[in-house]
Each structure stands twice: as structure tokens, then as C-alpha cells.
Amino acid sequence: MTYQQEEHFLTEKRKRFDDIQELPENRPALLLAAIYSGDEQKIYLKFYDMKDNTIYFWRDRTNHKPYCYTKMQHSDAIKKIVEKEKKYTLEQTHKRDPISDKEINLLKIIAPDPLSIGGTENSIREKVTSWEADIKYHENYLYDTGLIPGTYYIRTGEEIRQFQYQISNEVQQALKNLLWNRIEEEARKVDNNKNDNNEYQQYITTWAELLNQPIPDLRRISVDIEVESEEGRMPTPRDHDRRVTAVGFVGNDGFKKVLVLEQQQGKSNDNGTSTPLIPEAEICYTEKELLQKHSKLSALTQL
């Protein structure tokens, strides 16, 4: 790759979030995942809209930052690091220690990016004993915000809030017959506290509403990539020194496409005729052409 090609590639990589479709307002969408953009140092939420089968994104507006914790016994060590590396900030906080079952004081170490917390030899977790420094940042973000992938959300202005479809009457009646009546009956037998009963009922209701949300028919596509083989050796993605010879696409909406690299160079089979191809196949005469068409199809199918 030449310098100009590498610079073009890096420029295009930086623009990957510039032309995305932003989540529209007042339309329920399924949260698929949280994605971290290193260039912007921001989390993007990825949504799926069932009505138009479109992927939308939403950039974090909460100014959430990566962090970890250390105990007060390491305060001198972490303060020396923060004085030297100005990118970190410290906040004193407290959490319940599950081992001692007591509230303990902690120092919260806030960083500008996830790699400052963990992932490199120069990360903070390599310099001081830390807690919650091994959690992937996008998962940490979901935990802190209470967002649940696989559930529905709706945007109102700059706010993302959970959206719940109403449970059907049949499910509500089943819950009443199988759970609520039985809970009340058991509570009367043991003379339980009514508040505890209500708390348990609310807990069950929350899970029932979550698990009874509609399951969307997501558009899906499988991709199969074939490369040149070598006797006695299994190709691996890590050692990508073999030419790509074919890429196949099959979608659950009926879409089918196979890109095949021309390797016969005009040769025929034993009968003197060319091997017939399936209608979905398309011949590519160079590996570059095959990979370019693969990239275009991937973009169109939002892989």
C-alpha cells in the first residue's frame, strides 16, 4: 500500500460515522449494540428500525467517560501517577464491598479513552491495583446507563428512553392465574409482609414485560469467503496470504449473490465445455475487482 493509498484509507476510516443515519424521533427502534468510536472518543448506540429495516445510530450525549476504581490504600501511588499524567482525574466515592458487606471509600480514576484504563502496557491497570478495569468500555457504558440490548427505545429530543409494547390480554390473564393469585395465596398462608409481596410482584412484572416484547424479524445475511488452498494446510484469517477466490452472500429476504474469481483463464473441462455457473454467480477477473464488489455489497446490505 502506497502512502497516498494509506492516507486515503485512514481518511475514509475517520469518516465512518460522518454519514450515518441518526435515530429519528418518536419511532420505536430495537437497540442492537453499543460501539465505541476511538476518533471521537464517544459511544454510538446502534438501533434497528423494524418498519423500514434500517440501521440507525445515536451518539452519546451524557459525556460518559471510561473509569476504574482503586482502594484508598493505593491513594499515594495513584496520586503520583495523576500528577505526572494530566489526562487522568480522580474522584472520591464509596461502594459496598461484597466480601465484607460494608461501604468502603474508593478513588474513581477517570480517563479520556478506554486504552488509558486497560489494553496497553502503559494503561493505568498495569501501574496500580484496580477494580472494574477489565470490563469492556462499551459494556461498562450499557451497565451505567441501564440500556438493555434487545429491547426497544424511543428518542424524544436529545433523550433516549425505553419503549414497551403493551402485553396482550392473554399474557396478562396467564400471569394473573399462574402467578399473582398463587403469590397472594402463599402470602396469606405464611402471613408475609404485604410490602415484600408487592416488591416481588413488581419484580416479576418487570421481567414479564421485558420478555414479552415482540421479537423482530431482523434482516440477516450470511457471508462465506473462500481462499486458495494448500495441501496439508488449513487457511486462517490471521495468515491472510492466500488469494480470495469466492465470496457468497445469502440473505433471509431471498437475496443471493456469489462473486467468483476467474481462474480457468479460458480453459475448458474434459468435455471441452465450460463449467456452468448458477444464475446468482458473477465472474470477477481480478482479486481486486472481487474485493471491491464485496465491499459495495457489504455497504448496501449494511454489514
255-272 pLDDT, tens digit each: 999 999 987 654 445 555
Q: Are residues 150 and 54 in the same domain?
A: yes
Name the DSSP letter for residue 73.
Answer: G
Higher pLDDT, 184 or 211: 211
Q: What is the pLDDT of residue 189?
A: 58
Q: What is the pLDDT of residue 10?
A: 41
Q: Are residues 13 and 155 in the same domain?
A: yes
Split into its structural domains, the chain has a count of 4
- Residue 75 domain flag: yes
User: Taking residues 8-35, what's their average pLDDT?
Assistant: 74
Element of type H or E holding 105: strand 102-110
Residue 47 forms beta bridges with which residues? 31, 56
Amino acid at 212: N
State yes or no: pLDDT of 193 exceeds 60: no
Q: Are residues 252 and 288 in the same domain?
A: yes
Q: Are residues 16 and 112 in the same domain?
A: no
Cell of 125: 491497570
Higher pLDDT, 238 or 126: 126
Q: Are residues 93 and 191 in the same domain?
A: no
Cα–Cα distance, 146 to 200 (Å, whole number): 20
Q: Are residues 236 and 97 in the same domain?
A: no
Cα–Cα distance, 112 to 103 (Å, whole number): 28
Q: What is the number of alpha carbons within 13 Å of residue 56 lying toward its C-beta?
A: 21
120-159 pLDDT, tens digit each: 999 999 999 999 999 999 999 999 999 999 999 999 999 9
Question: Which residue range(s) make up the domain with 277?
Answer: 221-300
Residue pair 88/127 in contact (Cβ under 8 Å)? The answer is no
Mean pLDDT across the chain, nearest whole number? 83
User: Taking residues 236-251, what's their average pLDDT?
Assistant: 86
Q: Are residues 80 and 226 in the same domain?
A: no
Three-state DSSP state, 168: coil
Going by C-alpha positions, the residue among 226, 211, 218 that lies closest to residue 294 is 226
State yes or no: pLDDT of 176 exceeds 80: no
State the pLDDT confidence band at 174, using cuts at 50, 70 and 90. Answer: confident
Q: Is the pTM of this model over 0.85?
A: no
